[in-house]
């Protein structure tokens, strides 16, 4: 590659609207350009990185015996109707063709791969691991941070089909190990954390997250053991509370002007942990009371997961007044018998508590939860806070910001059952295969690598995904000897198997050096008349900025040694591994 012939539109200044470091640097280095909010063009250097990311993922998927497919992006809405997800996923793009057919742009492919599985006929054909690299479309409300949150992107999504739960466990573990290898080779320090399955269904899932201030997720992590969970799933081991018995029945307390938990604490001496917070939610059309301890916050996803309902919203003031006779600030569940009540586990067995009386400006004290409130469902609803005890070892939990880089799910039989997929079992009876789903966003992975591997001067790609291995910079563009030396070195590097770039532009050395640092190619070699007079070239490692003057005749050997060292290090992403064919080709 010759820089003079490539389209690498570098920028000298940071774009005004780029917040994340990856967004800013990928734009400045000429890797991407925005077409509109959430949609990006990948330019030549960006495409080289993207394809190397795909190659690594493909190798590791092949290694566990997965088979590559390619399924359509546009789907008949009827399939999504049969699975129950049509109209229940707010990021779904929908359209109608000229014949009036209702269509969907795929934001994931569980349903579509399940239609392929309909041709499976016997348990002997299982397990099956199928994967693809395909464009996904998600109507994000607020696309942001460049490639980290977009509306159009490439996903590696894979799906497993097994006879039973034990088989799914093996498939899930194989994908987990594959993901660990993938992220190590990409140079992403990812950790696996417990997560919610969200709209996917199923019972278990793991997110792979990368700690970063650019992240939108919060993860509860224990510094003393391996417990880690997304805040949507995290739990803590709260210490038990010994309450006084309290009165034989709730006692009325006039509370004029009290509207919040803090008001009742400061004005009437009832601390937040002795109050019952009453939230009114409409769950699948049914007004429902949701109760938490006064000092706890509702984690919305836990309510969705616990109820199995996605149609949940806060009730309006008019709906609340009509049902309970009061407005928020004076609400409670004591004595309520005509509405469902869901309570958080932290309220179980609590006595002598305070809550609203369902009369404006009035509360009740001395409330015994078991005696005075008809709780229909107990769930873990509260959001974990930093410093609470780890549920595994009791050490204080810490909250860290992170970027999701992959997600693996045990889906169960939701999709195979809905779409009527069965195979014959050993005894001739019909078996519904059980599924797993496993995703990695390709462009997001690029962005996360950029977040992890950059400095004030620009990007610093790991060798495993860099757009080129080495940048040969011709410093003395009008010196024929320098031109010949640079060209010869470039040719020798290519012959030695190095992915080389020759910067032959008629530009000042300072411009070339800045572009080399900005684009993040792992090694640069400066070829100038002054060094050549001494028979040497300057070799610089981008990640460490270490400089060496190396004899011209030894430059290729020296570069190959540097690349080998970088490839074997965690920062370089690790060595590549060829893959086999067929499920279970490699066990780990």
Residue 352 sits in a domain whose CATH number is: 3.90.960.10
Domain match, 264 and 364 both = yes
Return d(Cα 417, Cα 363) in angstroms, integer.
49
pLDDT at 289: 98
| CA atoms in the 13 A half-sphere facing the CB of 29 | 31
Q: Are residues 272 and 323 in the same domain?
A: yes
**What φ, ψ does residue 413 adopt, rounded to 5°?**
-110, 20
Residue 278 lies in a domain: yes
Of 351, 379, 407, the domain-final residue:
379
Average pLDDT of the segment spanning 243-269: 95
Report the chain's C-alpha Rg in angstroms. 29
Predicted confidence at residue 568, as pLDDT, reads 56
Position 588 pLDDT exceeds 80? no
The residue assigned the tokens 């590659």 is 1
Average pLDDT of the chain is 93
Q: Is 410 inside a domain boundary?
A: yes
State whether 467 and 448 are in the same domain: no
Q: How many domains does the chain have?
A: 3
Confidence class for position 6, pLDDT limits 50, 70, 90: very high
In what side-by-side order are the strands of the sheet with 536-541?
A: 500-503, 470-474, 523-527, 536-541, 547-551
Spatial distance between the Cα atoms of 474 and 532, rounded to a whole number of angstroms: 11
Residues 470 and 443 in one domain: no
- Assigned token pair, 503: 């910067």
Mean local confidence (pLDDT), 576-587? 35
User: CATH number, domain at 163?
Assistant: 3.30.930.10
Q: Contact 150/162 with Cβ under 8 angstroms? A: no
Last residue of one domain, picked from the residues 379, 414, 432? 379
Q: Are residues 22 and 169 in the same domain?
A: yes
User: 341 and 428: one domain?
Assistant: no
Position 586 pLDDT exceeds 60: no
Q: What is the pLDDT of residue 482?
A: 96
Task: Answer yes or no: is pLDDT of 585 > 90.
Answer: no
Among the candidates 318, 348, 379, a domain finishes at: 379
pLDDT classification of 200: cutoffs 50, 70, 90: low
pTM for the model: 0.89
Say whether both 226 and 300 belong to one domain. no
Does the structure show a pLDDT above 90 at 189? yes
> Given pLDDT bands bounded at 50, 70 and 90, which one contains residue 199?
low
Task: Specify whether 511 is located in the same domain as 416.
Answer: no
Check pLDDT > 60 for residue 572.
no
- Give the residue, 584 or 270, on which the prediction is more confident: 270
Whether residue 435 is found in the same domain as residue 558: no
- Range in 167-181, 200-214, 368-382 with the lowest mean pLDDT: 200-214
- The answer to whether residue 505 is domain-embedded is yes
CA distance linking residue 363 with residue 264, whole number of Å? 9
User: 2-25 burial string, b = 16+ CB within 10 Å, else e?
Assistant: ebeebebebeeeeeeebebbbbbb
Residue 57: the pLDDT is: 98
Q: Could you give the 3-state DSSP secondary structure of residue 137?
A: strand
DSSP string, 312-357: EEEPPHHHHHHHHSS-TTS---TT--SS-EEEEGGGTT--SEEEEE
**227 & 322 share domain:** no
Expressed as residue numbers, the domain containing 341 is: 251-379
Look at residue 386 and tell me if it is in a domain. Answer: no
Q: Do 55 and 185 reside in the same domain of the chain? A: yes
Give the residue-averaged pLDDT of 496-512: 96
345-381, pLDDT tens digit by residue? Answer: 999 999 999 999 999 999 999 999 999 999 999 999 9
pLDDT score for 17: 86
Write the pLDDT tens digit of every residue in 437-448: 999 999 999 999
Q: How confident is residue 174, by pLDDT bands cut at 50, 70 and 90?
A: very high
């Amino acid at each position: 590659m010759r820089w003079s012939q490539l389209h690498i539109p570098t920028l000298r200044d940071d774009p005004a609207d780029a917040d994340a470091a990856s967004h800013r640097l990928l734009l400045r280095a000429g890797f991407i350009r925005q077409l509109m909010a959430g949609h990006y063009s990948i330019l030549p250097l960006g495409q080289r990185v993207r394809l190397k990311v795909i190659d690594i993922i493909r190798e590791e998927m092949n290694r566990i015996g997965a088979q590559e497919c390619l399924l359509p992006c546009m789907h008949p809405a009827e399939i999504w109707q049969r699975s129950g997800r049509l109209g229940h996923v707010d990021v779904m793009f929908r359209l109608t063709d000229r014949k009036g057919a209702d269509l969907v742009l795929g934001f994931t492919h569980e349903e579509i791969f399940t239609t392929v599985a309909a041709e499976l006929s016997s348990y002997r054909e299982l397990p099956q691991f199928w994967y693809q690299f395909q464009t996904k479309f998600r109507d994000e409300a607020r696309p942001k941070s460049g490639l980290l949150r977009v509306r159009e992107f490439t996903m590696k999504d894979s799906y497993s089909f097994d006879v039973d739960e034990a088989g799914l466990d093996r498939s899930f573990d194989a994908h987990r190990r594959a993901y660990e290898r993938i992220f190590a080779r990409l140079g992403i320090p990812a950790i696996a954390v417990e997560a919610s399955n969200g709209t996917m269904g199923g019972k278990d899932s793991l997110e792979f997250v990368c700690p970063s201030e650019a992240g939108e997720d919060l993860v509860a992590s224990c510094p003393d053991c391996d417990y880690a969970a997304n805040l949507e799933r995290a739990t803590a081991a709260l210490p038990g509370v010994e309450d006084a018995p309290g009165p034989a029945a709730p006692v009325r307390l006039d509370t004029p002007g009290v509207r919040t938990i803090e008001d009742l604490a400061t004005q009437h001496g009832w601390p937040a942990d002795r109050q019952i917070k009453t939230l009114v939610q409409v769950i699948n059309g049914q007004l429902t009371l949701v109760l938490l301890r006064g000092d706890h916050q509702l984690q919305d996803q836990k309510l969705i997961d616990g109820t199995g309902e996605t149609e949940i919203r806060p009730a309006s003031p008019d709906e609340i007044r009509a049902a309970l006779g009061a407005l928020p600030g004076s609400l409670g569940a004591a004595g309520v018998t005509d509405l469902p009540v869901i309570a958080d586990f932290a309220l179980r067995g609590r006595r002598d508590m305070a809550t609203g009386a369902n009369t404006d400006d009035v509360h009740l004290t001395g409330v015994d939860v078991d005696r005075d409130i008809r709780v229909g469902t107990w769930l873990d609803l509260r959001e974990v806070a930093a410093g609470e005890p780890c549920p595994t070892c009791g050490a204080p939990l810490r909250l860290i910001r992170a970027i999701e880089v992959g997600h693996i799910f045990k889906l169960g039989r939701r999709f195979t059952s809905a779409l009527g997929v069965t195979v014959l079992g050993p005894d001739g009876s019909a078996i519904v295969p059980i599924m797993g789903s496993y995703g990695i966003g390709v462009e997001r992975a690029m962005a996360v690598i950029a977040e992890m591997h950059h400095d004030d001067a620009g990007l610093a790609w790991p060798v495993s995904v860099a757009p080129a291995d080495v940048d040969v910079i011709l410093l003395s563009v009008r010196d024929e000897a320098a031109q010949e030396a640079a060209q010869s070195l470039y040719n020798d590097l290519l012959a030695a198997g190095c992915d080389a770039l020759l910067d032959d532009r008629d530009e000042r050395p300072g411009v070339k050096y800045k572009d080399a640092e900005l684009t993040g190619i792992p090694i640069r070699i400066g070829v100038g008349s002054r060094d050549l007079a001494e028979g040497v070239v300057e070799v610089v490692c981008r990640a460490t900025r270490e400089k060496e003057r190396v004899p011209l005749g030894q430059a290729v050997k020296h570069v190959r040694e540097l690349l080998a060292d970088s490839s074997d290090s965690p920062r370089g992403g690790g060595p590549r591994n060829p893959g086999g064919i067929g499920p279970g080709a490699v066990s780990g």
